[in-house]
Amino acid sequence: MCPGSVESPAPGSGKSVCVMDASGPLGRALVDRLLRRGYTVHAATYCDCDCRRQPEEDDDEEEQEEEQLFRGCSDVYKHRLKVFRADPFDYHAIADAVRGCAGVFCMFNTPQDQEQCDEVTVETEVRAAHNVLEACAQTETMERVVFTSSVTAVVWNADHKKQQQQLLLDEKCWSDLAFCRKFKLWHALAKTLSEKTAWALAMDRGVDMVAINAGLVTGPGLTAAQPYLKGAPDMYDDGVLATVDVDFLADAHVAAYESPTAYGRYLCFDNVVCRPEDAVKLAQMLSPSAPRSPPSDELKVIPQRIQNKKLSKLMVEFANGIYGELD
């Protein structure tokens, strides 16, 4: 028999993984990819924690989310998709969703409006991170957790202007918590604190965890009110305003889970807004009425001061099925 004449099993054949929260663009993209790779997927969606809502409203929302998840799923895969309802503050509901899973993709969909992103958001994300990692630690079948964080957990520092002129930011950098609190950078604070909470628990409990620090996810529905964009002019001036396509981001998560050499944090972006024309393109994406050309006094190209060489190496190895030794 010729080598390769027998089709090899799908990477996820026989394994269950959980995507939590699966209701956002990244969650849905991940569910689709994981199903196609042979996994049984536990798609967990967080409920709305607003106590003013009526039970029937929650039931209607749950049905809509399930319908949306199944709508994007081929009939061939639907038997491997299981939908769960979870709550960031309900450890038992989270534990039910991850039970029997070999992997968890943990993300929190921050509110899309800066007005809704505040200290409560920070507390909720931290609690969610704690409960998910604790549930994973108690799951005997667990092999790896892929935790979605943000570039905003890397770039904000009291001396960011001075430091970023001298060094290139990478996975070793962390945003300063006091600086984020002082300037009410709630998105950055939520992502930094929740990631630090996850790392502390993962190391304490012996959970194999990899973090993906994503840039601004571009696509339909993105507006200037997105909390990630608070402080965007400073990020642009510092050469760290990074964006990422949701499909590339989802692929990076799969690579981080399946690659045996994946470790630590990975900055994930496929573009850094440094040129005036890039800034105009982003501005028009946020608001169609934005000017189509930059002011004449804003034509300089900003040096890029953030790098993701570590992720680039992982993606090349993953694409080729070749895994090098850890550095």
Give pLDDT, residue 65.
Answer: 59
* pLDDT string in tens for the chain (327-residue length): 334 333 446 777 789 999 999 999 999 999 999 999 999 999 999 876 443 344 455 555 556 656 666 665 667 788 899 999 999 999 999 999 999 999 999 999 988 888 889 999 999 999 999 999 999 999 999 999 999 999 999 999 987 555 555 678 999 999 999 999 999 999 999 999 999 999 999 999 999 999 999 999 998 888 899 999 999 999 999 999 999 999 999 999 999 999 999 999 999 999 999 998 888 889 888 877 666 666 555 567 889 999 999 999 999 999 888 654 443
**Buried-exposed string 260-276: b where 16+ CB fall within 10 A, e elsewhere:** eebbebbbbbbbbbbeb
Give pLDDT, residue 220.
Answer: 84
Q: Which tokens go with 2?
A: 């010729």
Helix (H) or strand (E) holding 86: strand 81-86
Distances (CA, A) of 200 to 21, 103, 130, 178: 21, 18, 9, 19
- Angle in degrees, 0-180, between the axes of helices 186-205 and 119-137, rounded to the nearest 10: 20
Give pLDDT, residue 158.
Answer: 82
Nearest to 157 by CA among 54, 34, 306, 321: 306
Q: Which tokens go with 261?
A: 């050499």
- How many helices and strands in the chain, by DSSP H and E? 12, 10
Task: Mark out the alpha helices in the chain (DSSP H runs).
Answer: 25-36, 55-71, 91-98, 119-137, 152-155, 160-164, 177-182, 186-205, 232-237, 246-258, 276-286, 309-320
Domains of the chain as residue ranges with CATH = 16-320 (3.40.50.720)
Of 191, 300, 310, 313, the catalytic one is 191
Nearest to 22 by CA among 13, 12, 33, 14: 33
Instruction: Sort strands 242-245 and 264-268 into parallel, antiparallel or unpaired.
Output: unpaired
pTM of the model: 0.89
Give pLDDT, residue 50.
Answer: 44
191 is catalytic: yes
